[in-house]
Amino acid sequence: MKKKLEQLKSLLHEITDLNHIIAILGWDQQTYMPEKGAAERGSQIETVTRIAHLKYTSDELADLVEELMNQVNNMDPDSDEACLIRKTHHNLVKQKKVSTEWVSEFARVTTVAQSVWEKARANSNFKMYQPHLEKIVSMRRDYAEFFAPYEHIYDPMLDDYEPGMKTTETMAIFNVLRPRLIQLIQEIGNHTQVDDSFLHQNYDEPRQWDFGVDVLNHMGFDWKRGRQDRTAHPFTNTFAMDDVRITTRFMPDYFPSALFSSVHEGGHALYELGFARNLARTPLADGASMAVHESQSRLWENLVARSLPFWKFFYPRLQRVFPAQLSGVDVKSFYQGINRVQPSLIRVESDEATYSLHIMLRLELEIAMLKGEIAVKDIPEAWNERMQTYLGITPPDDALGVLQDIHWAFGGIGYFPTYALGNVISGQIWQKINSDIPDLDQQMEKGKFSGLLTWLRENIHRYGAKYEPQDLVYRVTGSKITPEPYLNYLEKKYGQIYSL
């Protein structure tokens, strides 16, 4: 048994190394790669992806996993070994159903599509990007067919990001979330709007960078194990247990963009840096799911960094960095300004109350494209119609509308719901944290976040991908994923800000 486990880990180490090489190639593409390198980079990623898939679907690994699965019921179900066997089996079953030809072709197609998306977005020209998205949607339909019969065409893709979750479960959560969010937004719209004009000034980029680094330092980000770079669309990538990269983007006339991008990606990185050492170079050295991952980034970005206790500590420091812009603004006004609720065009810049509506819009469009209910060429129009329906605004062009996100370009159909699910999970976790750390607000007011990080490390981070998302959330909070705590948090917070 022990020998078989060592053989399994040895094979998984090779596959994990290959996946990290793919991640390095992708990170470089979005940060430093010259524009004309996209085509050959696509071939490079295609080659390494094909090798990784062949190794994961090899008879050697399949036979080994089958033999170990026969013994897993005799093991402690929560042991690292039992969890590793089950996780590998889950991944192997999925990988075996998908052809190596599809995997390698998809890697090439999406690598090129990302490069085209950047140009199309810069020129606000959806037609430039359209044929690439059509190919991706077509290939995603083919991917779903590898798993037929399925309950819902979206299920195989959702499972890639949320193991064990079904589309019907997700829609049920969203059906509770949607009406209360809309009601909250309407109530806010009937009250006096808060002022955030002080945020829309020129903020020197180097000083923005330095302040963001200061915040990341206080969060506990380890610069010996990670770094931060600039990109068009912020993301986090992991190359090893001690090599986690985050990125941010700057808007010279809107201070919150870079700061909250850094905090958001910093939250992802802290999760990645918190996995137990013995999980390294295996499928367990990963987030439980993308929603759990998003719960970590959204928790730090919103429940921590948009809170009043956070700014009672950081605001005097920020005022010293930008005295001309903020000397006449008190901390309460600043806090209200960064939490202003107003329907906006850009998802990543949207407030907490409207954010999840952006996600629901994208989910509906993804399903409609997969089912053939909306042709890809008609997506910009459908996007604009839903933006008007959900948020009461219409994008003036494609760059501010359908082209704003990179996810479809890298093939991430199935990814978007995890953002709203992450919001929901963050609310559940936050409720539990405040129960376990009753003086958390006082700690944050003093700039102390080690207690919070320790709690997250102990209760979530160290487990990596040992448990499926619903199981992990239940273990941590005593409940499966439910929107009630998050909705209660939003209604209380914005009730106070807007005197509802």
CATH number of the domain enclosing 473? 1.10.1370.30
CB 367 within 8 A of CB 144: no
Place of tokens 């705590």: 485
Q: 17 and 76: one domain?
A: yes
Phi-psi region of 458 (alpha: psi -120 to 50; beta: other; left: phi over 0): alpha
pTM to 2 decimal places: 0.92
Q: Residue 55: CB partners within 8 Å, gap ≥ 6?
A: 11, 14, 15, 18, 61
Domain that holds residue 85: 2-149
Which is nearest to 327 in space by CA: 339, 318, 336? 318
For residue 158, being part of any structural domain is answered with: no
For residue 163, being part of any structural domain is answered with: no
Residue in 46, 118, 265, 352 annotated catalytic = 265
Q: 136 and 177: one domain?
A: no
Q: Hey, what are 157's tokens?
A: 């893709």
Q: What is the DSSP string of 175-223?
A: HHHHHHHHHHHHHHHTSPPPP-GGGSS---HHHHHHHHHHHHHHHT--T
203/398 Cα distance (integer angstroms): 27
- pLDDT attached to residue 242: 95
Domain boundary among 121, 149, 177: 149
* Angle, CA of 313, 234 and 400, to the nearest 5°: 110
Query: Max Cα separation, the chain?
Result: 69
Domain boundary among 81, 114, 149: 149
Q: 141 and 202: one domain?
A: no
Q: 253 and 331: one domain?
A: yes
Which is nearest to 298 in space by CA: 350, 254, 363, 336? 350
Q: 310 and 376: one domain?
A: yes
Place of tokens 């969203």: 174
Which is nearest to 269 in space by CA: 220, 230, 339, 330? 220
Q: To the nearest 10°, the Cα dihedral for 436, 441, 444, 450?
A: -10
Q: Residue 211: CB partners within 8 Å, gap ≥ 6?
A: 259, 317, 318, 321
Give the chain's domain count. Answer: 2
For residue 234, being part of any structural domain is answered with: yes
SS3 425: helix
Q: Is 46 a catalytic residue?
A: no
For residue 360, being part of any structural domain is answered with: yes
- pLDDT attached to residue 42: 87
Q: What is the pLDDT along the chain (500 residues), one digit of tens a residue?
A: 789 999 999 999 999 999 999 999 988 988 889 988 988 998 999 999 999 999 999 999 999 999 999 999 899 999 999 999 999 999 999 989 999 999 999 999 999 999 999 999 999 999 999 999 999 999 999 999 999 999 999 999 999 999 999 999 999 999 999 999 999 999 999 999 999 999 999 999 999 999 999 999 999 999 999 999 998 778 999 999 999 999 999 988 999 999 999 999 999 999 999 999 999 999 999 999 999 999 999 999 999 999 999 999 999 999 999 999 999 999 999 999 999 999 999 998 899 999 999 999 999 999 999 999 999 999 999 999 999 999 999 999 999 999 999 999 999 999 999 999 999 999 999 999 999 999 999 999 999 999 999 999 999 999 999 999 999 999 999 999 999 999 999 999 999 999 99
Q: 332 and 449: one domain?
A: yes
SS3 153: coil
- pLDDT attached to residue 320: 97
The burial class, CB within 10 Å (0-12 / 13-18 / 19+), for 161 is buried
- pLDDT attached to residue 349: 84
Q: 132 and 183: one domain?
A: no
Q: 211 and 354: one domain?
A: yes
Sign of CA dihedral 328, 332, 333, 339: positive
- In what helix (H) or strand (E) does residue 115 lie, and over which residues does it extend? helix 100-123
Half-sphere exposure of 479 (CA within 13 A, CB side): 13
Q: 139 and 205: one domain?
A: no
For residue 258, being part of any structural domain is answered with: yes
For residue 161, being part of any structural domain is answered with: no
For residue 330, being part of any structural domain is answered with: yes
445/173 Cα distance (integer angstroms): 34
For residue 379, being part of any structural domain is answered with: yes
Q: 137 and 194: one domain?
A: no
- pLDDT attached to residue 38: 85
Q: 305 and 410: one domain?
A: yes
Q: 212 and 74: one domain?
A: no
